[in-house]
Structure 1
Amino acid sequence: MGLIGGLIELLFGGGRNVVRETAEVFRENAEAGAARARDVQMGALDQFAAEFTVSRRGGFDRIMDGLNRLPRPALAMGTLGLFVAAMTDPIWFAERMQGLALVPEPLWWLLGVVVSFYFGARHQTKAQDFQRDLASTMARVPQAVENIRALRALRFDSPGAADAGTDAEMALAATTPEVNRALEDWRRMKRA
């Protein structure tokens, strides 16, 4: 018994499993591989989220953000206002357009550049916000898929959804009385 015990101690003792360690030389441990893959994915998501973390902003920054939101609505409402002015008071409108005709062409080019840069920067900021929100949503996808899978397993038409298992069968068998023929015969004789 000492030889067999020594052999088992050699293979499995001391908190080691030589058989498992030898097998892992030829084939990766699936559980450890999945854990490493999860760590890599979570690290990449954490790094991506850290790049887009918005720091706490003060009152001045919030006011400037509010002012940055004014030009687009002002341009849209101003253009609609020009159409209304042209219909309600054509002479007043014509006077203003004559003033605009006197603006030199390089100034129009400068206005075009300023507006293009403003809206281009705004578009880039919104695109980056969209990418950050998309990354946040994608990080929640595996949990949502797992939740849907668990909910679908609870549906009434899923195989085995109503199966109570062997413990319920044992409990039902223990509480359901069996037919006792001797007792039934005794009761019949007593009634007669």
Structure 2
Amino acid sequence: MGMIEILLNGLFGGGRNVVRETAEVFRVNAEAEAGRELTLQHASLEQFAKEFRLERRSRFDRFMDALNRVPRPAMALGTMGLFVAAMVDPVWFAARMAGIALVPEPLWWLLAAIVSFYFGARHQAKGQDFQRDLAATIAAVPQVVQTVRDVEALRDVSPAEPTPAGEPAVETTERNPALDDWRATR
């Protein structure tokens, strides 16, 4: 018993687990990693809560947040309003469009640049999300193709007909060399 006890104390003695500590050199301790991730998530949520706490935000911050939400709905509703105006009062609408025709081209370019910069960042973020989803879908294609092939292969297999005792079973269309060798030895 003394030799085994010395060996076990060498491996696990002193309140340490040498095997576990050695294994952690090669593989991350999943429980400790989950704890670190939980701590990080809590810290992130606390940061967001501090940043977006309503009672601490000034009137200016709340006004700017509201103002940032205006352009997209205003442009969409304004465009629909133009269609309604063209149907309700075509003369009034024609006069306004004639006025817009007098706007110089550089001013149109400036408007296009402002709108592009405003919506460009959102478009880029959405485009990157789309490309990421597309890449994940494309990565799944080989598995889907294999699954379809497996299912299609099941279509060709018909259940074997029951045979009377002592008679050999009906062979399928595919040959099995190992089975043929076994039958030859009988």
TM-score, structure 1 normalization: 0.46
TM-score, structure 2 normalization: 0.47
Bigger Rg, structure 1 or 2 = 1
Relative contact order higher in (CA < 8 Å, ≥ 6 apart): 1
